[in-house]
Structure 1
Amino acid sequence: MAKYQHILVALDLSEESDQVLQQAIELATNSGAKLSLAHVIEPLTFAYGGDIPVDLTEVQEQLQVQAQEQLDKIVSNITIGTHNQHVVIGQPAAEIHRLAEEEDCDLVVVGSHGRRGLALLLGSTANGVLHGAKCDVLAVRVSLPE
């Protein structure tokens, strides 16, 4: 197995994020790697088609603050400096690629729900990250809460 230096963990802040983070922590511990976390918020104009004649800046800022608070809660039991926590706005796969390059990461860890059928054809963030990354990508199969 490769010895990684810097691991970027892409979290969607769902209940399954802890499974992805725990796997990344184990890898980082075994490799002696630095760990960075990322959460990407899609711009509201993407989500709503951009046809709404309303200024969504304040709503977008609130989403960003809430995401940072959730990320802070997730990492409260581990030591990761705020400079290694990234909450950004953009297209998830593209932003994860950008962060991985900017931070000189040699591994990106993402969660995968193992979609099948139509959801598989439409793609997922994990698939998008895999097909554009310039470093290794680990897709952690997460199990949904029962």
Structure 2
Amino acid sequence: MSVYSKVLIPLDFHGDNEWIVAKGMKVAADHGAELFLLHVDETLAERYLFESASFSGHLKGFKEEICQESQQRMRALAKEIQLDDAHVLVREGKAAKAIEATVTELGIDLIVMGTHGHSGLQRLLGSTANRVLHSVDCDVLTVRIKE
């Protein structure tokens, strides 16, 4: 029996996503695991903090536009790597919280995610990878993003 049966690759459209996806695909293939891609739109959550009645309609249209763009980018990536659309997820909110919820919802046993290798103040403030590492009950493989 394989160690991993469900692998999640969270992507943020920054840095070298191809490198992260390649690593995640390799691990999933080696273990015969099901592969899921996840993108979390954090900007939507931040924009709604400033929502008021007068901007409600504009923000709703903006939100839908961002969601559609994210869905298109994720579908294109899934098609490129021959992954079923059902395994492509787009969520909104804070990335670490959305990743944690997805892990619980799908029973993920391995996350393969990129890390920028921050130092100094950025490391002190924390990163998404660090938050995920300390909040999920599954293994996390961090892949150093080539910058």
One fold, TM greater than 0.5?
yes
**1:23 corresponds to:** 23
Looking at structure 2, the residues matched to 14 and 23 of structure 1 have their Cα atoms a distance apart, in angstroms, of: 16
2:78 and 2:85 in contact (8 A); partners too = no
Contact 2:40 2:92 in 1 (8 A): yes
Whichever residue aligns with residue 81 of structure 2, its letter is I
Aligned match of 1:47: 46
Residue pair 1:7, 1:28 contacting (<8 A) in 2 also = yes
Tell me, yes or no, if the aligned pair for 1:112 and 1:139 is still in contact at 8 Å: yes
Q: Does 1:61 find its partner at 2:64?
A: yes
Cα deviation 1:17-57 (Å, max 9, x = unaligned): 1111000000011111110010001253x424723422111
TM-score (norm 1): 0.90
Matched residue type, 2:20 = V
- Partner Cα separation in structure 2 for residue 111 and residue 17 of structure 1: 8
| Contact 1:43–1:60 (Cα < 8 Å) also in 2 | no
- 1:61, distance to aligned residue in structure 2 (A): 1.2
Q: Percent identity between the aligned chains?
A: 32
Which TM-score applies when normalising by structure 2?
0.89
**For residue 50 of structure 1, what is the amino acid of its counterpart?**
L
Q: Does 1:78 align with 2:81?
A: yes
Runs of 4+ that moved beyond 2 A: 46-49
The total of aligned residue pairs comes to 142
CA distance in 2 between counterparts of 1:77 and 1:48 reads 31
Report if the CA contact (8 A) 2:78-2:88 is conserved.
no
Q: Which residue of 2 aligns with 1:33?
A: 33
Distance 1:11 1:49 in 2: 22
Q: Helix, strand or coil: the match of 2:7?
A: strand
